[in-house]
Amino acid sequence: MEEAQRRALRRARARLVAALRVEPLWDALEDRGVFTRAMVEELQGGLADVLIEECQCPAAPPQPIDLRPVELDLRGEKHNKNVNFPERLSIPVQAESERPRIPPVPPRGSAVDKRNRDLVYELKADPCGHCLIINNINFSRDSNLSARDGSDVDCEKLEKRFKAFRFDVLTRRDLKAQEMVSELQKLVRRDHSALDCCVVVILSHGCQTSHIQFPGGIYGTDGKPIPIEKIVNYFNGSNCPSLRGKPKLFFIQACGGEQIDRGFVVDCDSPDNETPGGSLESDATPFQTPLGNVDEPDAVASLPTPSDILVSYSTFPGFVSWREVSSGSWYVETLDYVLEQYAHSEDLLNMLLRVANAVSAKGRYKQIPGCFNFLRKKFFFACK
User: pLDDT tens string for the chain (384 positions)?
Assistant: 567 766 666 666 656 555 555 566 666 656 666 556 666 666 665 555 555 555 555 555 555 544 444 444 444 444 444 444 443 334 344 443 444 444 444 444 433 345 577 899 999 999 999 999 999 999 999 999 999 999 999 999 999 999 999 999 999 999 999 999 999 999 999 999 999 999 999 999 998 888 788 989 999 999 999 999 999 999 998 899 999 999 999 999 987 555 555 555 444 444 444 444 455 665 654 434 334 433 333 333 333 456 899 999 998 776 777 888 888 889 999 999 999 999 999 999 999 999 999 998 887 777 889 999 999 999 999 987
State the DSSP string of 47-74.
HHHHHHHHHHSPPPPP-----SPEEEE-
H or E stretch covering 218: strand 217-219
Instruction: Please give the residue range of the domain that contains residue 348.
Output: 121-374
199 and 126 both lie in a single domain: yes
**pLDDT tens column, 106-129:** 444 433 345 577 899 999 999 999
Contacts of 137 (CB under 8 A, 6+ apart): 147, 148, 149, 151, 152, 173, 174
Amino acid occupying residue 63: Q
Compute the CA torsion angle 224, 229, 235, 237 (nearest 10 deg): -150
302 and 258 both lie in a single domain: yes
- Catalytic hit among 131, 155, 255, 371: 255
The verdict on whether 211 is a catalytic residue reads: no
91 and 125 both lie in a single domain: no
The verdict on whether 198 is a catalytic residue reads: no
- How many structural domains is the chain composed of? 2
Contacts of 113 (CB under 8 A, 6+ apart): none
**pLDDT tens column, 223-234:** 999 999 999 999
Report whether the peptide linkage leading into residue 24 is cis, meaning its omega lies within 30 degrees of zero: no
**pLDDT tens column, 138-178:** 999 999 999 999 999 999 999 999 999 999 999 999 999 99
181 and 71 both lie in a single domain: no
- Catalytic hit among 205, 207, 240, 371: 205
Q: What is the CATH number of the domain that holds 264?
A: 3.40.50.1460
